Structure 1
Amino acid sequence: MRNIIGEICQTFEPDVFIDTVNDYACFYKFPEEANTTVKGVIEKYRMKRESEEARKRQQKEMQILQRKIKQEKAAQIRAEEEIKLATAKIEKQNYEMNELIRRQKMTIKEKIAEAKMLHKIESESCYNFAFAGHTKTGKSSLINSIRGIDDKESTAAKVGIVETTQIIQKYPYYVDKLKNIEVNFYDIPGSGTLSHHTSQYYQEKGLCAFDCLFILIQETFCEEEIKFAIEALKHNQKVAFIQSKCDILLTNRKKQKIITTIDQTAVDEFLEKLKENRISEIRKSNISQLHRIPCFYVSSFNLYNLKNGFELDPDVRYNENELLEFMASEIKFSRNTIL
């Protein structure tokens, strides 16, 4: 009997042992029968334990198999995605290469005609200005200022802390004395971003379609602006540079204590330094035609106030009047329009 109980103790957990002993106690008066019963109970629980262990092993193996299948499926999906991306990249490269070859075979006239079709431009009855250049150079604010409307108006070009113009937008420009001709401003997304690369900016945006291209320059004159201007000259396009944040640049100089006050003398001296920088950078290109491209240094705030007859604060002027006169002159002489 002790041997049987000892076997039970070594084989089962305490709760199982108690149940087994209780079963055994029922047959205490019949040793042989009890002995047989206890052994039967032991065998019963042994088989149950083995069955449970087998079930757990099978469950674990199933989980391992499921994880493996899941991992293989994920790897297959990743491989398919990589193939798709690689295929798309190759197709894009092939398209760009074919497009480059096609454009190289085109004449300037054909390129301009294609760009006009892209923007749905009809040049006989309208004059079109495009405002392009590096991102965050104030293109949209400048367009609003020349049109004499506030940035918050519903018809205004969108402005913001981050680059807000993602597609080319068209805005009408009304001139009181203008007769029989429509004038449009085109706000071009800024270059130098992941969405709008500098290398093919002029070609991809179809900038040769516009009658006059305004290239907005950064704080200092950069290679980027020169490249755009060279492309414009190649396409016999009227082009001009604009720095639209002169007031902000001058205010920063005052904050840095480079100047003590902002008056017309300070403005004139500052503009002279900006012009010197532009001439110096253009000289490095060894392209003499670039020196003949006009450059206007303006304040968008001044333009807005001038267009609406408001007082200037501070009472200084940059090249706002010269810019407006240039635009009127281009419209007049290019379309033989009397203003």
Structure 2
Amino acid sequence: MAGTLAVLTRLGTGVFGRDRAVGDRLLGGLAWLAAVGVLVLLGGTIVMLIKGAQPAFSRFGFWTFLTTAEWNPVTEIFGGLSPTVGTLVTSAIALIIGLPVSFGIAVFVTQMAPVWLKRPISMAIELLAAIPSIIYGMWGLFVFAPFFADHIQPVLTATLGEVPLIGPLFQGPPIGVSVFTAGIVLAIMIIPFIASVMREVFEITPAPYKESAYGLGCTTWEVVWHVILPYTRIGVVGGVMLGLGRALGETMAVTFVIGNAHDLHLSLFLPGNTIASTIANEFTEADGELYTASLVALGLILFLITFIVLAISRFMLYRLAQREGVRS
């Protein structure tokens, strides 16, 4: 009997062992294929953008194209300065407004809100993140832009418009659709993403860390600043980069409220454009090789901007890790 059991055990071990070996090889192959597929997809996208933009760069040169503000399909003179600046400015406005609000929401939900209020606020944030961008654009055009022109812009012009150095940024006719309006709509769009990530990473901070800080007499702000943020800095930076990436590439909402004008103005209250809105508006109307190549070149510039932002974020995390290592 014992011999029979030993034989059956060896047979079972051999069968299951072979099954596990096959499963491991299959899983490894699928994982390798997925990793290579991502690299191939990224490489193919880069090659497509470079190849498609080549006629524009051959005609104007990369630096000339990037620093030229004129965009005239009739004379076939194209420059990417206006949409590039518009993309950076609207994203900066969105981040300046959205980051503090998102941080405040995350701190309130995780550290201050009563239990009965946490879930409704969390659900509201998730619902805001799920709203399609075109809905934000329609709301911005028909509701927020008129309200901003009638009630908010006059106040900003009367106050900030008189401040030296920054005054020209807040001067202009109250027409509603503008670079500043687009930045505010983008801020509203990215707040749910950044707040959700911050809320999740704040909640994973070990309770003994926070309780020890409170036991030493720290205030809520001191606990957040000296305990929670250092522990969750990677997740926080990831959330900020997620929101910034959403702002840089947003198309439909910005197209509705920015005014879509190929002009460079110092005032934030005048119409402008972004790379994404320019491509969305004009790609179907591009009737020549140079026109199409110029739009693809804008796409390549947007890709480079996104890559640079990602590289900066990784460098920031690396420096933070080094600094923490030196302190420890």
Decide: shared fold, TM above 0.5.
no
- Kindly indicate which of the two structures has a greater share of residues assigned to strand: 1
- Kindly indicate which of the two structures has a greater share of residues assigned to helix: 2
Q: Over alpha carbons, which structure has the higher Rg?
A: 1
TM-score (norm 2): 0.29
